[in-house]
Amino acid sequence: MSSTIRVETDLRGVATLRLERPDKHNAMSERMIDELAEAARRLGRDPAVRVVVLTGAGRSFCAGGDLGWMREQMAANAAARAAGATRLAMMLKALNEMPKPLIGRLQGNAFGGGVGLACVCDVALAADTARFGLTETRLGLIPATIGPYVLARLGEAMARRVFMSARVFDAAEAERLGLIARAVPAEELDAAVEAEVAPYLNCAPGAVAEAKALARRLGPRIDEAVIAETIEALVRRWESPEAAEGIAAFFDRRAPSWAEKRNG
């Protein structure tokens, strides 16, 4: 089975971690979640790696969690559901705590878990044509395991503007919310990413790693208790009638029962 990600490291020690499911808009399957977690651990341990750039292949950065995988979790037994939610949470934790600078290169849309991936980056840059949305509630789900990272990036006041409404917003608004550092024309994205990468190549790697760890300790608390709470919240939602209805409606290509009915 082919890998769902690709990792390439240049001679400077800049590693590109690319999501490689372009036909699925880089939606995160169980395999991708596992491969991302392992890549984060491997890159974090590699002394030759100075900086990691997270990006996606194709038109989208990441469409969130693969709905087929989510439907499997909902149909599984309690232990399997808990394991699936834990796997997702631990992948986000591994990327967030990776002792290397993580630069997000968002070449396209980021929805649901894709927003979470942007928020575990130390800085995220996006093409100005990209769109964003925490779209979970439209499906009867909630942004649970990504929640701590979204709140840490945006702050509660900004997060509450988009956290519950499933509203899709553009890159300019993502920049105002603090989700991304800058929105730039697509043809300027690589240069903008390089401008973020270059300073780290003149910094002591150990000092960078310790500074990042200190920033996390001084920032909002995302410890084992918080992560466990998000896992439990996701499992509860997977078990809810609303989630069953929302996911079924998606696959049936119909509106769920709670959606506004429009005439005509």
Instruction: Encode pLDDT of 93-117 as tens digits.
Output: 999 999 999 999 999 999 999 999 9
Considering the chain, what percentage of its residues have pLDDT values greater than 90? 92
CATH number at residue 141: 3.90.226.10
Residue 260 pLDDT > 90:
no
Residue 255 pLDDT > 70:
yes
Residue 264 pLDDT > 70:
no
The model's confidence at residue 1, banded by pLDDT at 50, 70 and 90, is: low
**pTM assigned to the model:** 0.96
Contact present, 53 and 105 (Cβ < 8 Å): yes
Contact present, 153 and 178 (Cβ < 8 Å): yes
**30 in any annotated domain:** yes
Q: How many Cβ atoms are within 10 Å of 72's Cβ, its own excluded?
A: 15
**103 in any annotated domain:** yes
Q: Which two tokens stand for residue 85?
A: 């939610």
Lowest mean pLDDT among 28-37, 201-210, 248-257: 248-257
The model's confidence at residue 59, banded by pLDDT at 50, 70 and 90, is: very high
Considering the chain, what percentage of its residues have pLDDT values greater than 70? 98
Determine the Cα–Cα distance for residues 206 and 196; give it in Å rounded to an integer: 18
Contact present, 89 and 34 (Cβ < 8 Å): no
**239 in any annotated domain:** no
**66 in any annotated domain:** yes
Distances (CA, A) of 168 to 5, 13, 42: 26, 36, 34
Q: Which two tokens stand for residue 117?
A: 């991936």
The model's confidence at residue 263, banded by pLDDT at 50, 70 and 90, is: low
* Domain extent for 30: 5-187
Lowest mean pLDDT among 20-24, 145-149, 259-263: 259-263
Q: Alpha helix locations (H) across the chain?
A: 30-45, 67-75, 78-97, 113-120, 147-154, 156-159, 171-177, 189-197, 205-218, 224-238, 241-252
The pLDDT of 236-245, averaged and rounded, is 93
Q: How many domains does the chain have?
A: 1
The pLDDT of 162-177, averaged and rounded, is 98
**218 in any annotated domain:** no
Residue 71 pLDDT > 90:
no
**38 in any annotated domain:** yes
**134 in any annotated domain:** yes
**53 in any annotated domain:** yes
